Amino acid sequence: MERIQSINPERIAWCCSDHGITLSTLAAELNIATTSIERVMAGEDGITFNQLRKIAEYFGRGVLFFLESGKVDEEQVHTAQFRTLANQKPELSAKLKVLIERVEKQREVYLSLCEDLSNTDRIGFSSPDLHGKNPREAAHIARRWLGLSDRNSFDTYRESVEAQGILVFRSNGYNGKWQIAKENPILGFSLYYPTCPVIVIKKQYWESQQSFTLMHELGHLLLHKMSSIDDEHDLQSHKGKELAANAFAGHLLVPDAFLASIRDEERPDEVSQYDEWLEQSRKAWGVSGEVILRRLLDAGRLPQDRYTAYRQWRAQSVVMLKDGGNRMYRHREPKNVFGDTFVRTVLDALDARYITLAKASSYLDNLKIKDLHQLERHIAGL
């Protein structure tokens, strides 16, 4: 089989260093003999196109990236947003780094399609003026800005955020290129741009948990105008920007008027009964019991030891996430992952013949053509 000789080994080495892996790890991941990689790095041999394609896909690069001469210019390869996240969490896994770059590329696709469709309304992000506002005041303004009703779910929160020109992606639940691994502690991240920011939420068993992550990331975009990446520790932090984003999310999801409806005298003695006590409110507001309890704690209406005991009880009662999913609804997965705004834009571009079926499929998680047509009918309400 013909081998490509013009490989730039420095670029393979840079990618390995950037992702924190060794050449032997790369070889093992891609099922390529370590000696073959070593010969390429030493300039003693070439590589097959199929092997080069595997390397390019693994690092989220194009094949031509490894054929170009010269060293890598990190500022050209990585955006300022990516570098911000990488600096915040230096221990990011290689797969998560690739996911962040994949999200950035998906945003570029979206902007390009909006331009083709001459639809600037879809990228009309304009943040409310929150300068000088504390998290409680900012949440009150943001809730009006989002146009939220008194009853919500993760889906309605997501729709409201998307309606303000922010893309909201959610990782899928099965193993694939749009998944944040279950064992990965990252719960979400946001990429700040003056035009069309992006929020990415890790899929969790309880959608109410996703609602808090969504509003926490929105807090970073609106309050701090910065990109951020957050794990469980950050969503419990009592310091700096994380404290402000947590307070913002709590007040937005559970405003003071909502909190006033909780009757303290009905609070059970056993923390295991708290979720049942708060069930009506949890379902109406689309939030977890912990969010309500945290608001009660901060308002001085719940003792710290009761809140801590509840969190310990919840940690021991974690429901194991289901693997995979029902593939009968594969056609709906792009909407679950990329949101209604992105999917409709791709389908509109397809209908207007700005892109081919093959392109539309590639933008929608490589959906098969028959599933893509099912998705069109689903979006149309047929």
In angstroms, rounded to a whole number, what is the distance separating the alpha carbons of residues 240 and 233?
13
Q: Is residue 307 part of a domain?
A: yes
Q: What is the DSSP string of 265-330?
A: GG--SSGGGHHHHTHHHHHHHT--HHHHHHHHHHTT-S-HHHHHHHHHHHHHTPPPPPPS--GGGG
> Long-range contacts of range 347-354, CB-CB < 8 Å, 24 or more positions apart?
347/375, 347/376, 347/379, 348/113, 348/117, 348/119, 349/113, 349/116, 349/117, 352/116, 352/117, 354/113, 354/116, 354/117
Confidence of residue 320 (pLDDT cuts 50, 70, 90): very low
Q: Is residue 98 part of a domain?
A: no
pLDDT averaged over every residue in the chain: 92
Are 294 and 334 in a shared domain? Answer: no
Are 312 and 349 in a shared domain? Answer: no
Are 215 and 338 in a shared domain? Answer: no
Mean pLDDT computed over 188-208: 94
Residue 321 has pLDDT above 70, yes or no: no
Q: Is residue 162 part of a domain?
A: yes
Are 263 and 337 in a shared domain? Answer: no
- Determine the pLDDT at residue 20: 83
Confidence of residue 326 (pLDDT cuts 50, 70, 90): low
In angstroms, rounded to a whole number, what is the distance separating the alpha carbons of residues 121 and 150?
27
Are 333 and 311 in a shared domain? Answer: no
Q: Which tops the pLDDT comparison, 166 or 75? A: 166
Q: Is residue 278 part of a domain?
A: yes
- Determine the pLDDT at residue 132: 92
pTM of the full structure: 0.91
Task: List the CATH number of the domain containing 63.
Answer: 1.10.260.40
Of 44-58, 151-165, 241-255, 289-303, least confident by mean pLDDT is 44-58
Are 71 and 128 in a shared domain? Answer: no
Are 355 and 290 in a shared domain? Answer: no
Residue 322 has pLDDT above 60, yes or no: no
Are 21 and 146 in a shared domain? Answer: no
Count CA atoms within 13 Å of residue 375 on its CB side: 30
Are 149 and 282 in a shared domain? Answer: yes
Do the beta carbons of residue 339 and residue 167 sit within 8 Å?
Answer: yes
Are 140 and 203 in a shared domain? Answer: yes
User: Of 293, 316, 339, which residue constitutes the final position of a domain?
Assistant: 316
Are 40 and 71 in a shared domain? Answer: yes
Mean pLDDT computed over 4-9: 91
pLDDT digits (tens, 9 = 90+) for 111-146: 999 999 998 777 788 999 999 999 999 999 999 999
Of 108-112, 212-216, 314-318, least confident by mean pLDDT is 314-318
Q: Is residue 288 part of a domain?
A: yes
Q: Is residue 206 part of a domain?
A: yes
Q: How many C-beta atoms lie closer than 10 Å to residue 331's C-beta?
A: 21
Confidence of residue 1 (pLDDT cuts 50, 70, 90): low
Q: What is the extent of the structural domain holding 54?
A: 9-77
Are 50 and 171 in a shared domain? Answer: no
Confidence of residue 309 (pLDDT cuts 50, 70, 90): very high
Mean pLDDT computed over 174-202: 93
Q: Is residue 35 part of a domain?
A: yes
User: Of 61, 77, 93, which residue constitutes the final position of a domain?
Assistant: 77
Residue 319 has pLDDT above 80, yes or no: no
Count CA atoms within 13 Å of residue 332 on its CB side: 9
Give percent of the chain with pLDDT exceeding 70. 97
User: Of 316, 337, 370, which residue constitutes the final position of a domain?
Assistant: 316
Give percent of the chain with pLDDT exceeding 90. 79
pLDDT digits (tens, 9 = 90+) for 202-212: 998 889 999 99
Q: Give the total number of structural domains in the chain.
A: 3
Q: Is residue 344 part of a domain?
A: yes
